[in-house]
Amino acid sequence: MQAEYRQRREQLMAKIGNGTAIFRSAPMAVMHNDVEYNFRQDSDFYYLTGFNEPEAVAVLAPHHSEHRFVLFVQPKDPEKEVWTGYRVGVEAAKEQYGADEAYPITELDEKLPKYLEKADRIYYHLGRDEKFNQTIIRHWRRLIATYSKRGTGPVAIEDTNFVLHAMRLSKSPAELELMRKAIAISVEAHDRAREFTQPGRYEYEIQAEIEHIFRLRGGMGPAYPSIVASGANACILHYVENNRQMQDNELLLIDAGCCYGYYNGDITRTFPVGEQFTPEQKAIYDIVLEAQRQAIAQVQPGNPWNQFHDTAVRVLVEGLMDLGILQGNIDEIIKEEKYKPYYMHRTGHWLGLDVHDAGFYKHGEEAWQILQPGQVLTVEPGIYIGPDAKPAEGQPEVDDRWRGIGVRIEDNVLVTESGHEVLTAAVPK
């Protein structure tokens, strides 16, 4: 993978020209008192370096005569490593990660200016680390103050997201291999969950079976908090309590994916807890399934991003009108979003290093991103008729027989040269 990281850095440096790009590692996060969560590297930082430690900074300076890629890392410290694990250290950062130069992180303030003073701009994303944001701004101000004497220096700070996230949008063969592995593990976990589900079990028992498979097969764990939502819980989009006992004649919605090598799967299936759907559940499920089928058909290179969402919305609205849950003119219902009490989210998102992956959806007010080969996205229509769902103005009251039904079906889809590939097709629908 080091050749791949190097290629990504070279591609980014070609885009920033005479600029200097700076990336900060993710911080450690506290779980409680003095116990920390397992470390998870910042996705942009990892994408460019593969370096998986906190307290690190990567600098890309294509204009520098010797040091185009520089790492600032924690130095080796045997005493601390006994408690918190081995560190790569300064020398190995060059040997193992291809840095032209590496320094202890404590020398950042001292060394950083020489990689900025001949740059025409700084590329940096002002993120959640306010202290480090101020460090970058402080260095920039100092260089601006002396610009008139030197005649060089960064005249602006530009967000790296606009350059880097366009790169991350298209997945390389190596990335797709990792995603296929994450998805294969996710598929196995969903199959196990479906086999294990029965009336009387608790949602957390199903969650345990799913996440057991994730780790058993070498995954890092869940890509996101697993949603195991039975009955009316399925109408809560991000339900994660997973503590209810499942009953016969209700549905179970499982939204769960494995993270493998930092890449993620994201699958949702909805099925009966008992042996079969009730007529109402089947009616809703069939609408969602048809909406997803038609939406996936719109995932084609050259199509705008919004096309598969618009397709899904129209099928969902038509289906709900057939059931009498919506009424009126279909175009007006869609334009006025009167379906929103029952379908309140978009039909998909980019997928990759992040579950809601990097990449823009629009360029300007009306210019949607055009689908291109190598992009991976989710297609996940749903209908959620909560126990307390209130219809939009002018729409009929919901009959009690529909209340408490929540259905979502989600697949991961790769845009190919000739169309698409449903990477998660092995999970039954």
Residues tagged active-site: 34, 238, 255, 266, 345, 349, 356, 380, 384, 408, 410
Encoded tokens for 406: 């929540």
Cα 175 from Cα 182, distance rounded (Å): 11
Is residue 396 within 8 A of residue 323, CB to CB? The reply is no
Give the three-class secondary structure for 357.
coil
* Bridge pairing between strands 35-36 and 57-60: unpaired
Phi-psi region of 187 (alpha: psi -120 to 50; beta: other; left: phi over 0): alpha
Per-position b or e across 297-306, b if 16+ CB within 10 A of its CB: ebbebebbbb
Query: With the CA atoms of 123, 128, 132 and 133 taken in that order, what torsion angle do they form, in degrees rounded to the nearest 10?
Result: 50
Which one, of 316, 187, 327, 310, lies nearest residue 257 by Cα? 187
The torsion angles phi and psi of 422, rounded to 5 degrees, stand at -85, 105
List Cα–Cα distances, 186 to 49, 212, 296, in angstroms. 26, 11, 20
Place of tokens 């209340």: 403
User: What sign does the CA torsion over 180, 186, 191, 194 have?
Assistant: negative
Q: Tokens in use for 59?
A: 């600098």
Q: What residues contact 93, with CB distance under 8 A and at least 6 apart?
A: 51, 71, 73, 99, 102
Rounded distance between C-alpha atoms, residue 241 and residue 124, angstroms: 37
- DSSP string spanning 286-354? HHHHHHHHHHHHT--TTSBTHHHHHHHHHHHHHHHHHTTSS-S-HHHHHHTTTTTTT--S-S--B-SSS
